[in-house]
């Protein structure tokens, strides 16, 4: 990494660490910060498979829900400490990722076919969670409020903010590693051209299963954190399509396959949603701000897909690439 990049990262980290204090620990600011970091973390989990390896999933909620349910079932029904249940939930996410990967990649599914199958898996898990007894079906699962760090529950939301910050930084480090490591190079090769990757000695099936397991593990970690923060999950919260869409939206808007794409995308998304909520309050004609936010998301997505296929990170890259391109012309 260059010196300036290192400085920028350090500065960003310090700013993020001080952010809650700047606002005097106001709950609104802290919660907004949490939401951005949490969305960035989940987006990064999608980005690792969808962006770096080009295996675009439409059903990442399946991992999120697996993580949320695994830790909650262990905690609520079997009395496990959430801190202990968390790694098990992460392992469960990895296992589900490996399982879905094995099935769909063995069948040779690529592109939109793979996306559709992941969507189907998420829906299947949602319906299962609705019907089997140990998830308590549509009633959902309530975690008893007992705020204590030992229970992975905090009275002050600032601790959730810092927990999300740690996860987010770890996921950024993982993404950075992917841009430099052999594993990451293989994923990029698979994304760009699978036949050529195979010809150059890459076991594309194995690498794709691995990356989906890694992505699933990360996403499941987010699921547990969600359950511990909001103390309630049900099948549509855990496995709902909107979760899957938010993860891929955040990555696509920010720039799929880039380190900071999901973080930027998460910032944009939550900024838009806050602004539209304010507008919705200000304009009496708009009674409900939710549809307005969705409309704005939609417009942003159309603009991004139409003019910036590499996401907003593409803006920087394009500007840098231009003089080179002219040089060769």
Residues that bind other proteins in the complex, under the rule CB under 8 A? 180-182, 185-186, 188-189, 192-193, 195-204, 321, 324-325, 328
CB of 309 to other proteins, least distance (A): 10
- Residue-by-residue DSSP string for 192-250: H-HHHHHHTT--HHHHHHHHHHHHHHHHHHHHHHHHHHHSEE-HHHHH-HHHHHHHHHH
Identity of the residue, 131 or 181, whose beta carbon is nearer to other proteins in the bound complex = 181
Tokens of 77: 């029904």
Identity of the residue, 200 or 299, whose beta carbon is nearer to other proteins in the bound complex = 200
Identity of the residue, 82 or 257, whose beta carbon is nearer to other proteins in the bound complex = 257
- Residue 203 to residues 64, 175, 207, 210, Cα–Cα distance (Å): 28, 21, 6, 11
Q: Is 179 helix (H, G, I), strand (E, B) or coil?
A: coil
CB of 326 to other proteins, least distance (A): 11
Identity of the residue, 155 or 318, whose beta carbon is nearer to other proteins in the bound complex = 318
CB of 72 to other proteins, least distance (A): 39
- Residue-by-residue DSSP string for 45-68: HHHIIIIIS----S-THHHHHHHH
Identity of the residue, 155 or 180, whose beta carbon is nearer to other proteins in the bound complex = 180
Give the list of residues 6+ apart from residue 157 with CB closer than 8 angstroms, or none.
27, 30, 31, 34
Cα-flanking dihedrals φ and ψ of residue 142, to 5°?
-105, 130
Identity of the residue, 43 or 314, whose beta carbon is nearer to other proteins in the bound complex = 314
CB of 197 to other proteins, least distance (A): 7
CB of 200 to other proteins, least distance (A): 5
CB of 245 to other proteins, least distance (A): 25
CB of 277 to other proteins, least distance (A): 37
| Closest listed residue to residue 52, CA positions, set 174, 165, 169, 206 | 174
Identity of the residue, 189 or 220, whose beta carbon is nearer to other proteins in the bound complex = 189
| Closest listed residue to residue 311, CA positions, set 267, 245, 265, 263 | 265
């Amino acid at each position: 990494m260059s010196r300036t990049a290192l400085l920028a990262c350090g500065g960003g980290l310090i700013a993020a660490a001080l952010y809650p204090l700047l606002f005097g620990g106001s709950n609104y600011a802290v919660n907004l910060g949490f939401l951005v970091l949490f969305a960035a973390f989940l987006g990064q989990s999608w980005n690792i498979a969808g962006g770096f390896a080009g295996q675009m999933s439409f059903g990442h909620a399946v991992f999120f829900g697996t993580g949320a349910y695994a830790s909650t079932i262990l905690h609520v029904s079997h009395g496990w400490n959430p801190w202990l249940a968390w790694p098990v939930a992460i392992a469960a996410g990895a296992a589900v990722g490996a399982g879905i990967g094995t099935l769909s990649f063995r069948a040779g599914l690529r592109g939109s076919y793979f996306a559709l199958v992941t969507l189907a898996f998420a829906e299947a898990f949602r319906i299962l969670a609705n019907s089997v007894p140990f998830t308590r079906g549509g009633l959902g699962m309530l975690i008893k409020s007992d705020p204590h760090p030992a229970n992975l529950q905090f009275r002050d939301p600032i601790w959730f903010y810092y927990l999300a910050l740690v996860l987010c930084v770890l996921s950024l480090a993982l993404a950075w590693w992917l841009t430099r490591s052999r594993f990451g190079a293989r994923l990029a090769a698979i994304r760009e051209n699978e036949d050529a990757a195979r010809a150059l000695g890459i076991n594309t099936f194995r690498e794709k299963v691995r990356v989906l397991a890694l992505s699933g593990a990360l996403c499941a970690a987010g699921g547990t954190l969600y359950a511990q923060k909001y103390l309630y999950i049900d099948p549509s919260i855990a496995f709902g399509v909107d979760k899957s869409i938010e993860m891929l939206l955040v990555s696509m808007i920010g720039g799929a396959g880039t380190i900071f794409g999901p973080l930027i995308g998460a910032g944009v998304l939550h900024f838009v949603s806050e602004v539209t909520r304010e507008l919705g309050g200000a304009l009496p004609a708009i009674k409900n701000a939710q549809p307005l936010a969705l409309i704005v998301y939609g417009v942003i997505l159309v603009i991004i897909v139409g003019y910036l296929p590499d996401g907003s990170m593409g803006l920087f890259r394009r500007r840098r690439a231009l003089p080179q391109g002219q040089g060769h012309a």
